[in-house]
Amino acid sequence: MKKTILYKSPLIEMLESKDLDSPVLYQKNKNFNVKDILFNAETIALNLINNGFKEGDKAVLLAEPNIDFISTLYAIIMCKGIAAIIDPDMGTTLYLNRLKQFKPKWIFIDYRLVLLQKFRWLHLIYKKFSKNPFFVPYIDKINYVIMGKNLRLKKSGIHLDKLKIKSDSNIIWEKAKSEKDFLITYTSGTLSTPKGVVHSDSSLISSLNLLANKIGKYKGQNMVSYLPHFALIGIMANVKVFLWKKDLPIPKRIDFINKHKINIFFGPPVEINEILDHCISHNIRFPGSLNYIMLGSAPIYKTFLSKLKDFTNADIECLYGMTENLLVSSISSKEKLNFEGNGDIVGTPFEGVEVKIAEDNEILIRSNQLFRGYLQLTKRKKDEFHPTGDLGYLDNQNRIVLTGRKKNMIIRKEYNIYPGLYEPIINSIPGIEQAVMIGKYNDKIADEEIYLIVQTSKKMSSKMILGYLHSDKYGIDTAAIPDYIIFSKIPRKGRQQKIDYQALKLLI
């Protein structure tokens, strides 16, 4: 019998330490337990190696989050590969830009994207009628693994079904180091300088353990999310994770929560606010099964929490963190609403997180959760503090309070949007003399909206500019596409005629 080496990293050991028979994932009327995930991952890993996957190979996961997605992620760990999860919502041009930097050898791709690659007529129809079309062209010298429906398309890659056939190899397990590069996630960036944040097993385990401890008191209950990394957190906390589609209509989300008796919600405030608006307009309360709502990935303001607490009895917790260090601090909604000081209080630092305030009031952090560095850039020194880009202070109870941002930054949904990265591209559009991007928080949607102020002497329309922003040459992140475009002379002030941002805010 053939012998094949698989690697047992701390993340695999952490999974094995859980109750193997406990249901942790629900998909299409079927429960999956830890044993199912481990078996699927081992089988996929063995077959990947038999098909040429080597230690250090880079793999992109571009498929719908489900049991196969989770199992494949663990399989990549067992093969000692490096995985990247790149959000397709950023748009085709920027996605391809990140692929170019990451240089994957493998892409695990949704079958629908393969159909677009195979049939040009289908791609043209999709591009014409889709609001935000996303397309990944076929790239030579990349191994494709097709996920989802098996349409038996010729010369398109291996289907995952073939990798799930039990192998006759005998596994030899070797222990893997915890400090090796494992997961790459991308922050918001421009076409020329994508920023890949490199995490190791060790840094991810530190974050997963902290969150698992938070959710641990709800062990055995049901959690919902559309994000795969939230699913990993639920699995590690031994709660059953239900994955719903990101674009599921609000009434169906409420039906979903009621039907499956969801107890735990974990996501950005804009997602829960959509449900809240529905409840307010229909004069109904949140489903009674919800007893814990964990909010993160974007600012959480008092106006939003004040509305939310009137429609649910669930405990509400607010998290503060970033791609480079997933968990910095947390605070309950009650404590946040009772805070009367200056600034936005984000709570007490998590265990193991050191915080200090720089001379310019920037918040600096250090912890075991911190990333290893940025892809293709110098690795971060292990003991150095990381500048968060946020300004603030520690109050007399050692709680972090934010007072602003060091750089002009907009946070929309879970995306950090730096106008300075996009304005040079927008300013290069023919006819635009200058454009300035600013954000304004909208209480109604519990999120920031983006305004683009355009100065031009030409005859231009919002539709024309949006067309440029969706094009290949002038395209920007989908998350940074403005909600409103205002045509106006850019106000300036002072001897150096700098942009007057206060006057700009009056325009919107």
Residue 106 shares a structural domain with residue 85: yes
pTM, to two decimals: 0.81
Ranking 113-117, 296-300, 427-431 by mean pLDDT, the lowest is 296-300
What pLDDT, on a 0 to 100 scale, did the predictor assign at position 191? 46
- Is residue 71 predicted with pLDDT exceeding 90? yes
Average pLDDT, the chain: 87
pLDDT bin (cut points 50, 70, 90) of residue 178 is low
Residue 160 CA to residue 157 CA, distance in Å, equals 9
In the predicted model, what is the mean pLDDT of residues 392-406? 90
3-state secondary structure of 278: helix
> Which residues form the domain of 236?
218-359+378-405
In the predicted model, what is the mean pLDDT of residues 454-479? 88
Classify strands 30-33 and 23-27 as parallel, antiparallel or unpaired: antiparallel
Residue 39 shares a structural domain with residue 155: yes
Residue 283 shares a structural domain with residue 331: yes
Question: Among 44, 49, 52, which residue's Cα sits nearest to residue 4?
Answer: 49
Residue 110 shares a structural domain with residue 253: no
Residue 382 shares a structural domain with residue 444: no
Q: Assign residue 152 the CATH number of its domain.
A: 3.40.50.12780
CB 263 within 8 A of CB 291: yes
pLDDT tens digits, 349-389: 999 999 999 998 999 999 999 998 888 776 777 789 999 98
Domain for residue 487, yes or no? yes
Domain for residue 182, yes or no? no
Give 284 or 186, the one with higher predicted confidence.
284
pLDDT tens digits, 186-214: 765 544 567 788 998 889 889 988 988 88
- Is residue 93 predicted with pLDDT exceeding 80? no
Q: Assign residue 441 the CATH number of its domain.
A: 3.30.300.30
What pLDDT, on a 0 to 100 scale, did the predictor assign at position 273? 87
pLDDT bin (cut points 50, 70, 90) of residue 486 is very high
What pLDDT, on a 0 to 100 scale, did the predictor assign at position 92? 80
Domain for residue 373, yes or no? no
- Is residue 142 predicted with pLDDT exceeding 50? yes
pLDDT tens digits, 153-169: 877 899 999 999 988 88
Beta strands per DSSP E along 236-353: 240-243, 264-267, 292-295, 315-322, 325-332, 344-349
Question: What is the enclosing helix (H) or strand (E) of 429?
Answer: none
Number of separate domains in the chain: 3
Buried/exposed code over 338-352 (b: 16+ C-beta within 10 A; e: otherwise) = ebeeeebbbbbbbee
pLDDT bin (cut points 50, 70, 90) of residue 283 is very high
pLDDT bin (cut points 50, 70, 90) of residue 135 is confident
What pLDDT, on a 0 to 100 scale, did the predictor assign at position 196? 86
Domain for residue 366, yes or no? no
pLDDT tens digits, 321-358: 988 999 999 999 999 999 988 888 999 999 999 999 99
- Side-chain-side CA neighbours of residue 444 (13 Å): 2
Last residue of a domain, one of 121, 154, 176: 176
pLDDT bin (cut points 50, 70, 90) of residue 81 is very high
Residue 448 shares a structural domain with residue 401: no
Domain for residue 272, yes or no? yes
Last residue of a domain, one of 145, 161, 176: 176
Domain for residue 372, yes or no? no
Burial of 490 (0-12, 13-18, 19+ CB in 10 A): middle
Residue 485 shares a structural domain with residue 502: yes
pLDDT tens digits, 251-271: 999 999 999 999 999 888 888
Name the one residue in this structure whose structure tokens are 């917790």.
317
Residue 398 shares a structural domain with residue 425: no
Ranking 55-64, 179-188, 301-310, 399-408 by mean pLDDT, the lowest is 179-188
Residue 324 shares a structural domain with residue 275: yes
What pLDDT, on a 0 to 100 scale, did the predictor assign at position 496? 52
pLDDT bin (cut points 50, 70, 90) of residue 497 is low
Residue 166 shares a structural domain with residue 243: no
pLDDT tens digits, 410-448: 888 777 787 877 887 888 898 888 889 998 888 888 888
Residue 45 shares a structural domain with residue 126: yes
pLDDT tens digits, 34-66: 999 999 999 999 999 999 999 999 999 999 889
Last residue of a domain, one of 126, 147, 176: 176
- Could you give the percent of the chain with pLDDT greater than 70? 97
CB 318 within 8 A of CB 296: yes
Residue 401 shares a structural domain with residue 414: no
